């Protein structure tokens, strides 16, 4: 039997790494550490910048900066103002800076919103004036006229501004209603305060006037309605919404003489002014049309060469007005836009010598009345049938005149031969009888002087229609009474004796100096305008201008005719 041979052993790498791998790694780390220690020892160099050198370099740099004259602009450097930018932080982010006109998600249909309340604008520029006159009434006890005194209160209703507010509020509402979404003026609440002398107006007492009953009672007594001289285009339509409905411009009384003073405001024209304006525009248009036709006839050459289709150019022809009372041949460029309606009320319950102020609140139909809860922001907005506007500013103070008043007729200065003498004037004292509305005049042939008090007991008065229109210029032979015109049998024209009490005192007389008579000896001489300073019965100092007073005298002497007209703008209540 053979003996077994021994096998030669081989080197096992895997076994070696298992047994000696950790030792190799530790040895390698020791060698790396020694390498870095060697580099640190051999490469060490001391710091070259010492503290003294650093101070020198920094000082040289500061001197260079201070000596430098170049600015940031020279160096082309944009400096950002952080201080101003920091101030903007106080105001927050301005959203307008980031808005874009681009609609990223446009709606297929406009967004509808619930209906809310609209601010109601008050009456503007409230004014008051006083007057009196004879009114035609239904026959009562044989009388067909009586006297009335009144205070006229006027204002401006801002219809255009109010309409714009309605459009902005309800154009995109969930339930638009064109018939209701417009200002509808139904009535108003008028308040009056009596002002005492030297009274603190912050503590005045306001009293509401029952305007509906006052107007209704007088319309039942009047013999018709007065003529309305205001352009109806500026009058708010009457809305009959049941009891207490009123006209924004109340009817005028049927006065014996036309009543045009104080019944409107400067921005509200009279019908006569409007018609005159349209007539002027019509004439200008016709003149322009005629000139264009003449120019075309000159340029046409021969009649045979003219085309039968040639016509006057109508490119710039004004559009006819629809709302004018007379639309025939009255052109207009565009249409008028009424920005304000007229507000007017005549207060007949005033007393002579009293001073008043007025204020008013408008009464409008509620555009949200009766709507569902889903249509309005708050359901309470649909409960009230009517809404009231803000209260207007108070009017000016108006003092009601007494039944007697004076008008200046002429002025005579001192004569040249006696310049120290007193100037004189012819003053008419007009007495107004409230019982029958008649007027009586004293002083047609009288002259007064400075210091004269116009209180005449048992004065001889005459009817204004019998008044001699010629001025009294001879102070030496003044007649004491005016005789009845020859051939007159009308008892109304007979002179009557009455107590004319005006409590007015003539303080001064000025003017009336003759300037010369350039037209010969027949016409009266030309004189400077006369003025008279008067202390009236109310304790007020007023100036009477002869030109203005003579215009009123001419109206006073004009024939009296009832100022009646069946006015369709004022239906019966």
Single out the residue of 208, 206, 214, 207 nearest to residue 246, CA to CA.
214
Find tokens 């952080």 and name the residue: 82
Residue 440 is predicted with a pLDDT of 85
* Interstrand relation of 438-442 and 496-510 (parallel, antiparallel or unpaired): unpaired
Local mean pLDDT, 10-residue blocks, the chain (573 residues): 57 79 87 86 75 86 84 77 79 77 70 87 94 87 86 94 90 82 92 87 88 90 87 90 86 83 88 82 81 70 43 38 39 66 94 92 91 87 90 92 86 83 88 84 86 87 71 42 48 75 89 68 71 86 87 76 54 50
**CB within 8 Å of 540: residues ≥ 6 apart:** 399
Segment holding 497, helix H or strand E:
strand 496-510
Residue 470 is predicted with a pLDDT of 46
Q: What are the structure tokens assigned to 387, written together?
A: 């809404």
What is the rounded distance in angstroms from the CA atom of residue 108 to the CA atom of residue 242? 44
Segment holding 399, helix H or strand E:
strand 398-399
What is the rounded distance in angstroms from the CA atom of residue 333 to the CA atom of residue 319? 6
Residue 123 is predicted with a pLDDT of 95
If DSSP codes are grouped into helix, strand and coil, which group holds residue 412?
strand
Single out the residue of 541, 538, 126, 122 nearest to residue 357, CA to CA.
126
Single out the residue of 570, 569, 566, 555 nearest to residue 260, CA to CA.
555
Residue 481 is predicted with a pLDDT of 41
Residue 6 is predicted with a pLDDT of 55
- Give bridge partners of residue 128 from the DSSP assignment: 153
Residue 282 is predicted with a pLDDT of 80
Residue 523 is predicted with a pLDDT of 61
C-alpha dist (Å) from residue 385 to 67, 530, 540: 84, 58, 47
Asked whether the beta carbons of 478 and 445 are under 8 A apart, the reply is: yes
Give the per-residue SS3 of 298-345. Answer: HHCCCCCCCCCCCCCCCCCCCEECCCCCCCCCCEECCCCCCCCEEEEE
């Amino acid at each position: 039997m053979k003996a077994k041979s021994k096998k030669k052993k081989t080197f096992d790498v895997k076994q070696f790494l298992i047994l000696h791998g950790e030792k190799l790694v530790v040895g390698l780390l020791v060698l790396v550490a020694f390498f870095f220690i060697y580099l640190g020892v051999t490469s060490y160099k001391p710091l070259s910048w010492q503290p003294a050198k650093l101070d020198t370099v920094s000082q040289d740099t500061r001197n260079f900066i201070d000596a430098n004259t170049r600015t940031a602009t020279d160096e082309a450097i944009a400096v950002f103002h952080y201080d101003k930018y920091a101030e903007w932080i106080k105001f927050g982010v301005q959203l307008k800076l980031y808005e874009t006109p681009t609609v990223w998600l446009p709606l297929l249909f406009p967004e509808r919103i619930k209906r809310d309340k609209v601010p109601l604008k008050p009456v503007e520029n409230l004014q008051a004036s006083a007057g009196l006159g004879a009114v035609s009434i239904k026959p009562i006890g044989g009388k067909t006229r009586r006297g009335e005194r009144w205070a006229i209160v006027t204002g401006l209703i801002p219809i255009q501004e109010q309409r714009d507010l309605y459009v902005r509020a309800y154009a995109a509402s969930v339930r638009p209603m064109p018939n209701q979404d417009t200002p509808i003026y139904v009535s108003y609440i008028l308040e009056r305060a009596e002002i005492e002398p030297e009274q603190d107006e912050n503590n005045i007492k306001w009293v509401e006037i029952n305007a509906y009953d006052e107007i209704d009672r007088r319309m039942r007594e009047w013999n018709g309605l007065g003529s309305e001289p205001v352009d109806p285009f500026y009058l708010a339509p009457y809305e009959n919404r049941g009891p207490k409905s009123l006209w924004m411009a109340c009817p005028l009384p049927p006065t014996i003489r036309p009543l045009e003073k104080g019944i409107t405001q400067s921005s509200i024209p009279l019908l006569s002014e409007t018609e005159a304006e349209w007539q002027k525009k019509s004439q200008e248009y016709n003149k322009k049309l005629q000139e264009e036709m003449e120019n075309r006839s000159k340029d046409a050459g021969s009649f045979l060469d003219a085309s039968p289709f040639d016509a006057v150019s109508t490119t710039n022809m004004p559009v006819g007005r629809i709302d004018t009372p007379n639309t025939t041949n009255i052109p207009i460029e565009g249409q008028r836009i009424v920005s304000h309606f007229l507000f007017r009320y005549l207060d007949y319950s005033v007393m002579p010598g009293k001073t008043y102020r007025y204020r008013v609140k408008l009464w409008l139909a509620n555009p949200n009345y009766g709507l569902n809860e889903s249509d309005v922001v708050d359901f309470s907005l649909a409960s009230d049938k009517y809404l009231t506007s803000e209260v207007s500013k108070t009017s000016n103070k108006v003092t009601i005149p007494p039944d007697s008043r004076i008008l200046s007729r002429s002025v005579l200065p001192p004569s040249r031969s006696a310049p120290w003498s007193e100037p004189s004037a012819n003053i008419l004292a007009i007495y107004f009888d409230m019982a029958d509305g008649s007027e009586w005049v004293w002083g047609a042939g009288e002259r007064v002087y400075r210091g004269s008090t116009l209180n005449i007991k048992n004065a001889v008065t005459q009817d204004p229609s019998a008044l001699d229109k010629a001025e009294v210029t001879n102070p030496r032979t003044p007649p004491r009474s005016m005789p009845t015109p020859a051939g007159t049998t009308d008892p109304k024209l007979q002179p009557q004796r009455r107590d004319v009490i005006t409590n007015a005192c003539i303080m001064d007389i000025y003017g009336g100096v003759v300037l010369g008579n350039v037209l010969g000896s027949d016409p009266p001489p030309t004189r400077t305008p006369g003025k008279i300073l008067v202390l009236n019965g109310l304790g007020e100092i007023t100036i009477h201008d002869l030109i203005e007073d003579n215009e009123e005298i001419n109206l006073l002497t004009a024939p009296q005719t009832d100022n009646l007209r069946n006015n369709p703008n004022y239906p019966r209540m």
